[in-house]
Amino acid sequence: MKKQRHSRKSPLQQKIALHRINTLFREAAKVFHKDKQLANRYVQLARRISLKYKAKIPQAYKRMLCKNCLCYLVPGATVRIRLRQKYMVHYCLVCKNIMRYVYRARGKQKAKTKDLYTISYLTVVTK
């Protein structure tokens, strides 16, 4: 009999997973100035939970995690953020990895939320 490797996770499990992810990121922010290694461990745990339970890490937290070395990113301490014309460039100071995120002025964003084409285009770029 074929064994299913990835079982489906219930919505409740996903909800708990999301709660744990939030808690881990909050704790990481608290301990970062005392113990950087521990902060890294917390966010890596959060990432593993998100993968296992297929719970998405909230966008704000996702950008605090380096996609290459998986360390916790704090602006000014472990990440340098620069704004380019359309992108927000995150430069990880630990592994020198560069991540780009679509950036928009706040006023413009509101006017274009109705435009579905722009939204779908945006999601493609950020991934």
Binding site residues, Zn ion, CB under 5 A: 66, 68-69, 92, 94-95, 97
Q: How far is the CB of 88 from Zn ion (least distance, A)?
A: 16
Q: How far is the CB of 95 from Zn ion (least distance, A)?
A: 3
Q: How many residues does the chain have?
A: 127
Give the integer Cα–Cα distance in Å for 92 and 99. Answer: 8
Q: Looking at beta carbons only, is 22 or 44 nearer to Zn ion?
A: 44
Q: Looking at beta carbons only, is 18 or 65 nearer to Zn ion?
A: 65
Tally the C-alpha atoms within 13 A of residue 65's C-alpha that lie toward its C-beta: 23
CB atoms within 10 A of CB 81: 15
Q: Looking at beta carbons only, is 49 or 73 nearer to Zn ion?
A: 73
